[in-house]
Amino acid sequence: MKIVACNSNLPLAQAVADELGIPLCKTSIRRFADGEVFVEIQENVRGEDMFVLQSTCTPTNDHLMELLVVLDALRRGSARRVTAVMPYFGYARQDRKSGPRTPISAKLVANLLTEAGANRILTMDLHAMQIQGFFDIPTDNLYAAPLFVKDLTRRHPDPEKLMIVSPDVGGVVRARQLARRLNVDLAIIDKRRERAGVSEVMNVIGDVSGRFCVLVDDIIDSGGSLCNAAEALVKHGAAGVEAYVTHGVLTGNACERVQNSPLAMLTLTDSIPATEELKAATNIRQISTADLMARAIRAVADESSVSTLFD
């Protein structure tokens, strides 16, 4: 077993390698003057079980192309099996046609990864579960929920006043799973815009008065929806609000928006590396997924069950 680290999340790749007790595979990934990606695997990989770790985060297209070229290099180097380990799967939000003559880009990316030489995909908290069906190769979707449960239990030893909140109707399944693990109540925020040009109305389904609310989501991008949800919960009498989100995309002035919001704390995983703005924020933190990723990689390499990691 060998691990190749691409450039999108080197700290996580090194942490995973340390958990497994193996060094990262010697690899040179560089750009030509015109921006073309060039990859050279500087170790023999013939007959090896290879794992390529790359989150397709900003700049998404560069990191995706990097991953594709590495997969091709390993296939041509006669690796026995190549697993693409993608803590964050970019393009996952384009999982269906949103209108006439629009693409299903998540399916396109699935095809590209397969054709480039991936024999297996290992990812975490896909935006839509049906994306697993876009692949014709084995695809394992890990969950950050066990990490969140462990962290919440440590930070809030008394769960009596906790309430898990889904920031929209689409995330109810994810929030319900976390609420069931913690054995706490669930609330839902229903966002409605009656007509164009009218401000969005947020209705809170569930009694959050006097409760400490924990918003749960898979992605935070601009941060607008999450911060608005936090404000709605405070207006409905919540004693406090924080959020647990798997992937911190955090575009534009998202970090500033979170700092100025009622959120006491925003907890992210390190599926996407921390920016300088994130490091400077006083109410944003990251928890490591290295142990989870390492155990999943070990399970795949040993041909043992990955589903035991969901507990």
237 known ligand binder: no
Beta-carbon neighbour count of residue 199 at 10 Å?
A: 7
Q: Indicate if 191 belongs to the active site.
A: yes
34 known ligand binder: yes
222 known ligand binder: yes
Structure tokens at 14: 């090194």
Which residue out of 97, 191, 235, 279 is catalytically annotated? Answer: 191
271 known ligand binder: no
Percent of residues in the chain assigned helix, strand, coil, to nearest 5: 35, 25, 40
Return the amino acid letter for 93.
Answer: R
Helices marked H in the chain — which ranges? 10-20, 60-76, 105-116, 145-155, 172-182, 224-235, 254-259, 276-280, 290-301
77 known ligand binder: no
217 known ligand binder: yes
Distance CA 267, CA 244 (A): 5
225 known ligand binder: yes
Cα–chain center distance at 150: 17
Structure tokens at 130: 């049906």
248 known ligand binder: no
Grouping H, G, I as helix, E, B as strand and the rest as coil, residue 171 is helix
Structure tokens at 138: 């084995």
DSSP, residue by residue, 119-132: SEEEEES-SSGGGG
221 known ligand binder: yes
35 known ligand binder: yes
36 known ligand binder: yes
127 known ligand binder: yes
Residue 109's closest CA among 59, 68, 54? 68
Q: Are 102 and 71 in contact (CB under 8 A)?
A: no
Annotated binding residues for D-ribose 5-phosphate: 193, 217, 221-225
Annotated binding residues for Mg(2+): 127, 168
Annotated binding residues for ATP: 34-36, 93-94
Annotated binding residues: 34-36, 93-94, 127, 168, 193, 217, 221-225
Which residues are known to be catalytic?
Answer: 191
